[in-house]
Every structure is written in C-alpha cells, then in structure tokens.
Amino acid sequence: MSDTPLLLTMGEPAGIGGEIAIAAWQARRASGLSPFCLLDDPARLRALTDLPLAEIGHPSEAAGCFADAIPVLPLSGQVQGRPGHPHRGDAPLVIESITRAVAACMDGTASGMVTNPINKALLYDAGFRHPGHTEFVADLSGGDRPVMMIAGPNLRVVPATIHLPLSAVPGALNTDDLIAIGRIVLEALSRDFGCVPPRVAFAGLNPHAGEGGALGTEDDAIIRPAVETLRAEGHLVAGPLPADTMFHPPARAKYDAAICMYHDQALVPAKTLDFDQGVNVTLGLPIVRTSPDHGTAFDIAGKGVARPDSLIAALRLAAEIAARRAAA
C-alpha cells in the first residue's frame, strides 16, 4: 500500500466538511477508497463522532492506521466556530489546512489534495486576498491557468467563464482564452482521465449556435476560430454546437468533455445528470486537486443529514488521477 495518501482539507469548520469526511471514512471499504488523511482540528472532529481518530505527525503514517482509525494531521490551533455558526477566528486554520496540503503535494508526501468547501466571505473579512479557493491553490502550487471541470459519471463540463452576470459573458469571451482552455482540457483528458485520443465539444453561446449570425455573431467570430485552431493542431474538437441538443445520450457519446460558455450552461446539465456524484476538478495545476461539488451547507451542518456522495466521488477521482500520473 502506498505511503503517499490523499490529504483532505478541513474547509469551513462550521459547515458539513467534518461530517462528510467522517462518513467517507466509514464508507472506505464499500467505496473502495484509497487511504486519506484529514488536515483538521482533532478536538472538533471528536465533537462530531465517537469513531476512533489517529493523530499522526506525517502523511506517511496514514496508510498504516487508515483501516482502523481516521488519520488526522492536527492543525496548529482549535476551532472556535460550531456547526452552522462560523467564527472569524477560524480563518487562519482554514488557510493553514490548504497551505499545508499544497506543500505536501508539491514535495511528494501526498499524492493529491481534496478540498472541503470554504466560506470565502469569512476569509475575506480576515484579509484573504485571492478571488477564491482555486486561485489560492493555483498561486501556492505555481499553476499558471487553473481551469474548473465538473466531472461526473455521465458528463464532464468546463465553463469558459464562471461567476459572471450573464450580461457580461459575451464581452468576457475571446478566442485566445478558448484556445488555451481547450489545450488544457485536452491534455487533462489524455493524462488524467485516460481518454486517448481526447475529444472535446464546444458549446455555442447563442441559441442554435448563432444560426449563421442571425441570432448573434459571437459563435462565428469568437468560438469557431478557436475550434478551427485546435483542429489544425490535430485535435478532435467539435463546435460550436447548439447547447440545447448536445447533452442527450447520443450527443454525449461523441465527446469526452464539453466546454461551455457560461456557468449555468455547464452546470445545469452536469447537476441534472450527476447531482450527487459531481466532482470539481482543477485542471492546469502541477498537483492533483479535486473537491465535492457543493458548498458549506450551513443550514444542515450538525444535523446528521449531509450526504458524503460527492466527497467520496472526489476522493476516488483524485486517487485515480494520481495513479495515472504516477504510472506515466
């Protein structure tokens, strides 16, 4: 058994991260999970469960105790918040958990990291200066251009723009960015997902992919040149395709990932098809990073109803990607 486990960050301690981490460990055998270790406050975990915890001093110790106890690398302080009630004083511990996980991935003592959801507003109040979780991980690891993919059993999607008002999307799209995103997605499909050769479909922005300019010019002026450039490089790329006809089963069989133009165009079909199994994967990093595709869920924290499905899927996918990279 490998002595380089996955590291699972604490995330927002007032959210459901601790509960689903414990539930994932309970399902380790049934779900076929590889060893993972929590970067967390043992005291707050003991308040959530009577299951055995094993406080360890190095990630390499996780594999030896994973079968019988939840391995925990203790953080430098104790959590002050409680389920459903975040505390500003916990921000340094949230940041420490992420920072230590990235460092362990970079030096090879961890095979990858899985990040529990964070409360960005709390971190901003404490002086956090990155736009979000992904940008922070990318900055720490040296990733030049992180790209978000939502991957599930039935569909992989990449939004070319993410958290923008819909009115801002056309102005934010440009051909060079779409080419760069396409290259990153194609490389990841081949290296991390075993898709050889990788196939990518670009969704159109407008209804009917613009219908020759009658319903908008962006599809022909911005998206199509990106597709043609990638095709000229020898890649299997289709598009721009009408978004209303590219997510039914026969259409999905023709590509390995869809690059969509805006948030809901990508995430509506992904969450419709794979709501409990969707995984947020960050492409374009030198390390493996996945995350469950949901938020902190303060409204159900501490109530014992949070489902670990997406976290289990994130742990499983991180282990699969790490194994492919190691084999390569």
pLDDT in tens, 49-106: 999 999 999 999 999 999 999 999 999 999 999 999 999 999 999 999 999 999 999 9
The domains of the chain are located at 1-144+286-328, 147-284
Q: What are φ and ψ of residue 298, in 5° steps? A: -55, -30
Residue 56: alpha-carbon gap to chain centroid: 26
3-class SS string, 190-237: HHHHCCCCCEEEEECCCHHHHHHHCCCCHHHHHHHHHHHHHHHCCCEE
Residue ranges in the chain whose pLDDT is less than 50: 1
Give the pLDDT score at 1: 41
Contacts of 258 (CB under 8 A, 6+ apart): 155, 156, 157, 158, 200, 201, 202, 203, 246, 247, 266
Give the pLDDT score at 209: 94
Q: What are φ and ψ of residue 239, in 5° steps? A: 130, 180
Q: Which CATH architecture has domain 1-144+286-328?
A: 3-Layer(aba) Sandwich (3.40)
CA angle, 133 as apex, 57 and 265 as ends, to 5°? 135
Cα–Cα distance for residue pair 17/296, rounded to 1 Å: 7
Give the pLDDT score at 262: 97
Contacts of 244 (CB under 8 A, 6+ apart): 207
Cα–Cα distance for residue pair 223/132, rounded to 1 Å: 27
Fold of 147-284: Isopropylmalate Dehydrogenase (3.40.718)
Q: Centre a 10 Å sphere on the Cβ of residue 52 and count the other Cβ atoms it contains.
A: 10
Give the pLDDT score at 110: 97
The H-or-E segment that residue 318 falls in is helix 309-327
Which residue(s) pair with 260 in the sheet? 159
Same fold, 1-144+286-328 and 147-284: yes
